[in-house]
Amino acid sequence: MGLREVLVLVISIVGTMGYIPHGSIGEKDPILTEALLREVVERMGKDFNDAASTYLEFPSSDRHLAMMARANKELEHEQLDYDSLIEGNPSPSLRDQEYLQHSSLWGHQYVTGGAGEGEQRLQPSGIVPNRQMIKTDAVLPAYCNPPNPCPVGYTEEQGCISEFENTAAFSREYQLAQRCMCDGEHMFSCPPDSSSDLDLRFADHHKNLVAKKYKPDIENPYLMGERLPIAAKKGFDVHVY
Amino acid sequence: MAVTVLLAAVASREVFTNSFLVRFKRSLRHEEAQEVALHHGFDNLGPVLGSDTDWHFAHRGLPHARPRRSIAHTRLLKQHPLVHTAIQQTGFKRVKRGFRLLRVPEPVPAAEPRDPYFPLQWYLKNTGQNGGKPKLDLNVEAAWAQGYTGVNVTTAIMDDGVDYMHPDLKYNYNAEASYDFSSNDPYPYPRYTDDWFNSHGTRCAGEVAAARDNGVCGVGVAYHSKVAGIRMLDQPYMTDLIEANSMGHEPHKIHIYSASWGPTDDGRTVDGPRNATMRAIVRGVNEGRNGLGNIYVWASGDGGEDDDCNCDGYAASMWTVSINSAINDGQNAHYDESCSSTLASTFSNGARDPSTGVATTDLYGKCTATHSGTSAAAPEAAGVFALALHANPSLTWRDIQHLTVLTSKRNSLYDAKGRFHWTMNGVGLEFNHLFGFGVLDAGAMTALAANWRSVPPRYHCEAGSVNTHTEIPSEGSVTLRIETSACAGSGSEVRYLEHVQAVVSANATRRGDLEFFLTSPMGTRSMILSRRANDDDSRDGFTKWPFMTTHTWGEYPQGTWTLEARFNGGSGPSSASGWLRGWSLVLHGTRAPPYAQLQAQDPNSKLAVVKKAHEDNALSK
């Protein structure tokens, strides 16, 4: 097989996967990426839930519990909340302690902020305008991992790297060595068929939500038009093979 | 000598004075006591509390305070046939309550930081550079002059990572409190992209804790404090668990969490923290900082006038300090998103002119002068709170909010469009819908923090509710009243307000046309929901959404509260129709007057005004 055939093959495999696998950890199995992520998230969640004692919920009084635990899944269905509380039993709270209480929330979450919001200017010169970004839990792909240089007082035994140069070039090269999803919104170019932008669209069953919440996604010119069949200068392992 | 005494005292903990309590076996006349004293080399300082058996002797040969008992002298006295016991007196330390030595302002102003970007940091020291208004700044030099620079305080930047190798940050970086949730490791170094998108956390970190006088970039608000990086924004999705873990990360090592993100500011979203995140915040407030409570600083948002941050459950939370921004001439920034839950303001860019941005650190050891958005405002507040915690490490999360209310300044902040005016609430605190209680004043806050007495316990009172369905008219408005005793006579009585929540359910054919106002018994009117031009929701409405106001801070809650709902069509009349499906009122505050134990140094200070109002009110009852 010539180089070109390998290239085509790899691209087609990758294409069927929906997004470019997160190579640094899952070189062979693209499913691993998501599996790993879920595992990480679950593990974090487990720690968290284990630690979360029940005291945040209101003690004893069911009506109170009802109000405060609106975020609690079991009670969510029962529509217990402020109403049920105030109807009957405005009994005193414990003093000087805060309790959970919030409106019922459901569905996926969409968050903006950081440099992805408003008008901001990037780079020291301020010449690069920022781009609008919305983060959501509706999809779960992953980007490359940045380098982990050793902070002052840390050594390599602690899992960081000491041979490090604090430059953009160093980080770029470091991330180049990984196979991961190209961040089409923030890289000036991505390899062809890198389907990152597709992943950031929303799955069919969220269509209503998307339609309700979003103006058409036209802010990012890089996502528009036909993708050019130029091999990227950076960011994709395929052309090294 | 004082030094040795002090050292010795520290070592042995007890200090012995040159005074002795001498108890005689029988009553003595003054002359007899005098004779005994002189005979053993003591001065007779007289009887103790009018007793004629107990006398106070002092030995001239002994120092006023010494670390060890003077056994020889004690024995000498005891040998006398008339002496029953002789006890050398130990010294105690007593401090006057509510009194601290007045801090004398430094006669000579402290030298300015020599960092090259300091002249650009108008938010730290506004000399009128870039067309700004002189003295419209955070007044940090006053705090620095008092000696407060953020020592032993850690602020976590919950963002896209921190360039902790930056020469201006590397020695102020708290590695053990940091974490990278985006790639699950302890090193939150930012991910490279061609447009340097992930520079935000680094910029925020520099505002808080960039080193002073090191010749690199500018200086942080609290330049001896530390920053921790929490990388949690840099994945193409967000989950409840990432948020929750970020906000609950190392709550005893991290004092302040600074967040410059939240639900989409598109002016049509109503969203907030989910289950796990809410738990994390409550837990942080109740248990963090070894029980004093973590400080969560929140940017109110960049949604502009078409959004209302009371629809952002993070900014609207009582447990976060929501910060809005003003630009260098005192106007609100055009992207400012306002709401009644905003507590105070700091500074950010004017956006039209990039040169008036916030100067701070940038990725890869660089500097920038163009950091911007309310995102830039929140870390400034975090820095000021770090200074306050240096001045008084035992401040609780509520103390910080009280200090913010009492020391923020109106200065020359104003609404460029003339919509929102400064208004006095029922106890004389000036507020503005856009700016909360004004711009943070670091010098005033640290001075008051140093003399602060923690506020009394907080209670939560469910003051009442209206559950009827009421149609909202297309013209005019509908008002619903709740008459409350603020739980008087019960264990949860609230007499002095902190936060007030109106939990409202409503539907409308166009949610964005809805406006809600809450009026307190003392007549303070808060706009708890403003028109959101882009919100065309007709289905969800609001379901028991807790709208929060800080405007009634310090007021007395007993009496009639009014919720007013109306439609605002913007330029023309609204064609919307809808129903108010009920509301309930939840009051949070103290039973005891919150500032009773504080000394107001300046009779014109906000503290003095509120304290006086509270005292007068108590007398009139």
CB contact under 8 A, A87 and B465: yes
Which pLDDT band holds residue A91 (cuts at 50, 70, 90)? Answer: very low
What pLDDT score was predicted for residue B399? 97
Q: Which of B159, B180, B302, B535 is catalytic?
A: B159
List, as one string, the DSSP characters of A173-222: HHHHTS-----TTTSS---TT--HHHHTS--GGGHHHHHHH---S-S-GG
CB contact under 8 A, B233 and A135: yes
Distance, in angstroms, between A6 CA and closest chain B CA? 28
Burial class (CB in 10 A: 0-12, 13-18, 19+), B534: middle
Interface of B with A in 490-509 (CB under 8 A): 490-492, 503
Q: How far is CA B381 from CA B323, B375, B378, B433, B441, in A?
A: 7, 11, 5, 18, 10
List of domains in chain B: 2-91 (3.30.70), 118-450 (3.40.50.200), 458-590 (2.60.120.260), 595-621 (no CATH)
Nearest chain A residue to B234 by CA: give it.
Answer: A143
Q: Across the interface, which of B260, B313, B370 has its CB nearest the CB of A114?
A: B260
Q: A187 contacts in B (CB within 8 Å)?
A: 193-195
Question: Has residue A72 got a pLDDT over 90?
Answer: no
Distance, in angstroms, between A5 CA and closest chain B CA? 30
Nearest chain B residue to A87 by CA: give it.
Answer: B465
Q: How far is CA B20 from CA A25, B60, B68, B71, B297, in A?
A: 77, 12, 14, 12, 56
What pLDDT score was predicted for residue B493? 95
**Could you tell me the mean pLDDT of each successive run of 10 residues in chain B, 621 residues long?**
41 66 85 84 80 81 73 81 82 54 47 92 90 92 96 96 96 96 92 91 96 95 97 83 91 95 85 88 95 94 84 92 91 86 90 76 93 89 98 97 96 90 96 96 96 95 94 93 95 96 95 96 96 92 95 97 94 91 96 93 92 92 72
Distance, in angstroms, between B614 CA and closest chain A CA? 21
Question: Measured between alpha carbons, how far is B236 from B182 in angstroms, rounded to an integer?
Answer: 10
Question: Measured between alpha carbons, how far is B320 from B326 in angstroms, rounded to an integer?
Answer: 19
Distance, in angstroms, between B422 CA and closest chain A CA? 27
Return the SS3 of B596: coil
Output A87 or B231, whichever has higher pLDDT.
Answer: B231
Q: B288 contacts in A (CB within 8 Å)?
A: none
Q: Across the interface, which of A116, A117, A121 has its CB nearest the CB of B354?
A: A121
ipTM of the complex: 0.73
- Find, among B360, B347, B433, the residue nearest to B206 by Cα: B360
Q: How far is CA B281 from CA B345, B443, B521, in A?
A: 22, 29, 31
Q: How far is CA B141 from CA B125, B313, B416, B505, B614, in A?
A: 8, 34, 28, 47, 32
User: CB contact, 8 Å: B356 with chain A?
Assistant: no
CB contact under 8 A, B457 and A188: no
Q: Identity (one letter) of the amino acid at B80?
A: H
Question: Measured between alpha carbons, how far is B472 from B469 in angstroms, rounded to an integer?
Answer: 10
User: CB contact, 8 Å: B375 with chain A?
Assistant: yes
Distance, in angstroms, between B317 CA and closest chain A CA? 9
Nearest chain B residue to A118 by CA: give it.
Answer: B302
**H-helix or E-strand containing B12?**
helix B2-12
Q: Across the interface, which of A41, A99, A196 has its CB nearest the CB of B239?
A: A41
Question: Has residue A202 got a pLDDT over 60?
Answer: no
What pLDDT score was predicted for residue B97? 53
Which pLDDT band holds residue A42 (cuts at 50, 70, 90)? Answer: low
What pLDDT score was predicted for residue B614? 95
CB contact under 8 A, B165 and A149: yes
Question: Has residue A35 got a pLDDT over 80?
Answer: no
User: CB contact, 8 Å: B592 with chain A?
Assistant: no
CB contact under 8 A, B175 and A70: no
What pLDDT score was predicted for residue A218? 30
pTM exceeding 0.90: no
Question: Measured between alpha carbons, how far is B587 from B225 in angstroms, rounded to an integer?
Answer: 35
CB contact under 8 A, B282 and A164: no
For chain B, how big is the Rg over CA atoms in Å?
Answer: 30
Question: Measured between alpha carbons, how far is B370 from B359 in angstroms, rounded to an integer?
Answer: 6
Interface of B with A in 521-540 (CB under 8 A): 537
Q: Across the interface, which of A49, A113, A215 has its CB nearest the CB of B262?
A: A113
Query: Per residue, what are the HEC states of B361-379?
Result: EECCCEEEEEECCHHHHHH
Output B567 or A34, whichever has higher pLDDT.
Answer: B567
Q: Across the interface, which of B285, B375, B491 has its CB nearest the CB of A114?
A: B375
Distance, in angstroms, between A2 CA and closest chain B CA? 32
CB contact under 8 A, A149 and B187: yes
CB contact under 8 A, B197 and A199: no
Question: Has residue A199 got a pLDDT over 50?
Answer: no
Return the SS3 of B423: strand
For chain A, how big is the Rg over CA atoms in Å?
Answer: 24
Least confident of A38-47, A144-153, B257-266, B532-541: A38-47
CB contact under 8 A, A166 and B351: no
Mutate to test the interface with A, among B184, B197, B490 (most CBs of A within 10 A): B197
CB contact under 8 A, B351 and A119: yes
CB contact under 8 A, B193 and A97: no
CB contact under 8 A, A113 and B165: no
B375 catalytically annotated: yes
User: CB contact, 8 Å: B350 with chain A?
Assistant: no
Q: Which of B56, B73, B166, B200 is catalytic?
A: B200
Q: B467 contacts in A (CB within 8 Å)?
A: 83, 87
CB contact under 8 A, B193 and A183: yes
Q: Across the interface, which of A131, A147, A158 has its CB nearest the CB of B189?
A: A147
Q: Across the interface, which of A48, A135, A171 has its CB nearest the CB of B276?
A: A48
Which pLDDT band holds residue A126 (cuts at 50, 70, 90)? Answer: confident
Q: A99 contacts in B (CB within 8 Å)?
A: 282, 460
CB contact under 8 A, A90 and B487: yes
Beta strands (DSSP E) in B327-476 are: 342-347, 358-362, 366-371, 423-424, 430-431, 458-466, 470-472
Distance, in angstroms, between A238 CA and closest chain B CA? 20
Question: Which residues partner with B519 through β-bridges?
Answer: B525, B562
Distance, in angstroms, between B385 CA and closest chain A CA? 21
Query: Buried b vs exposed e over B52-75: b needs ≥16 C-beta within 10 Å?
Result: ebbbbbbbeebeebbbeebeebbe
What pLDDT score was predicted for residue B391? 97
Cβ neighbours of residue B96 under 8 Å, at least 6 residues apart? Answer: none
Question: Measured between alpha carbons, how far is B166 from B363 in angstroms, rounded to an integer?
Answer: 8
User: CB contact, 8 Å: B302 with chain A?
Assistant: yes
B336 catalytically annotated: no
Query: Buried b vs exposed e over B359-370: b needs ≥16 C-beta within 10 Å?
Result: bbbbbbbbbbbb
B588 catalytically annotated: no
